[in-house]
Amino acid sequence: MWIFQVAGDLTMAANKKVILAGGALASNIIWQVAGFVEVGAGAHMEGILLVKTAAHFRTGSSLNGRILAQTAVTLDSSTVTQPPHVGRILAQTADILV
């Protein structure tokens, strides 16, 4: 799991891409942003966005992840794809003596 904490705003320029490598999964990347998020036209992000104010995705931008913002999420002809949750739940049992 990777957690990126941004103390201010997060701005991604047009036509830039976040590319995952080495087995990284969008469901394991969290962007915690204290300000707003601006994703430029044609740009692509990966991960879960936790935004204190608003998130704006410009024309043709995309996200493989989720967006949670306290005020607004604006999608201008943008695509958001929810990544599959990859993982397993391990059950553990124990004997309790009374």
Query: Does the residue 98 lie in any domain?
Result: no
Computed over every residue of the chain, the mean pLDDT equals: 89
Residue 40 contacts residue 16 (beta carbons within 8 Å):
yes
Query: Does the residue 96 lie in any domain?
Result: no
Residue 93 clears pLDDT 60, i.e. is over it:
no
Query: Does the residue 39 lie in any domain?
Result: yes
Query: Does the residue 89 lie in any domain?
Result: no
Residue 88 clears pLDDT 90, i.e. is over it:
no
Query: Does the residue 95 lie in any domain?
Result: no
Count of domains for the chain: 1
Query: Does the residue 11 lie in any domain?
Result: yes
Contacts of 1 (CB under 8 A, 6+ apart): 28, 29, 30
Lowest mean pLDDT among 17-31, 37-51, 54-68, 76-90: 76-90
Higher pLDDT, 96 or 54: 54
User: What is the span of the domain harbouring residue 71?
Assistant: 2-81
The pLDDT of 41-46, averaged and rounded, is 98
Question: Is the entire prediction scored with pTM above 0.85?
Answer: no
